[in-house]
């Protein structure tokens, strides 16, 4: 199944499961480094497995950039990926924090972050979202 046939809810469900199962080492400050992933980098990896975007190693920084539609991202979630899952912002802002801050500053575990996403806190997801067009 590719991302074009998956619903927003199915992609979010895969992201939550990926955070819960423990297959990813948790990192901070970058979507993906040699040491691990940010929670938002896990989302990029989930959509990449469905044919959207790709990872490329950036040797001088010991990290990876996520490339989508010719644009490169290594610290912030691409807008297209945020739109695909209905996130209201590229850092996962919600009523009292953001997913990026929960991961990088508060150092919450992926399981704790998955629980936050599952709770759909106020402001994290947009109510109605036009379908993101990914080329």
Task: Report long-range pairs for 54-61 (Cβ below 8 Å, ≥24 apart).
Answer: none
The answer to whether 64 and 57 have CB atoms below 8 angstroms apart is yes
Query: What is the pLDDT tens value at each position of the chain, 135 positions in all?
Result: 455 577 899 999 999 999 999 999 999 999 999 999 999 999 999 999 999 999 999 988 889 999 999 999 999 999 999 999 999 999 999 998 999 999 999 999 999 999 999 998 899 999 754 444 444
Q: Provide the pLDDT for residue 72.
A: 94
CA 112-50-5 angle, 5° bins:
105
Bridge partners of 54, per DSSP, are 67
8-21 vs 39-48: helix axis angle to the nearest 10? 120
What are the structure tokens assigned to 107, written together? 């150092």
Q: Provide the pLDDT for residue 133.
A: 47
So where are the chain's domains? 8-118
Whole-structure pTM value: 0.90
Bridge partners of 87, per DSSP, are 125
What are the structure tokens assigned to 49, written together? 């497995």
Residues 4 and 31: their CA atoms lie apart, in Å, by 23
Q: Provide the pLDDT for residue 2.
A: 53
CA gyration radius, the chain? 14
Q: Fill in the DSSP letter of residue 37.
A: B
Residues 127 and 109: their CA atoms lie apart, in Å, by 27
């Amino acid at each position: 199944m590719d991302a074009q046939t998956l619903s927003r809810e199915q992609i979010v469900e895969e992201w939550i499961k990926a955070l819960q199962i423990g297959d990813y080492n948790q990192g901070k400050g970058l979507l993906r480094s040699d040491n691990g992933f940010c929670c938002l980098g896990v989302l990029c990896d989930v959509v990449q497995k469905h044919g959207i975007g790709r990872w490329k190693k950036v040797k001088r920084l010991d990290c990876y950039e996520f490339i989508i539609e010719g644009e490169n991202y290594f610290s912030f979630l691409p807008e297209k990926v945020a739109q695909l899952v209905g996130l209201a912002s590229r850092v996962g802002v919600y009523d009292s924090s953001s997913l990026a801050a929960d991961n990088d500053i508060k150092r919450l575990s992926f399981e704790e972050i998955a629980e936050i996403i599952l709770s759909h806190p106020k402001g994290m997801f947009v109510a109605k979202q036009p379908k993101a067009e990914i080329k």
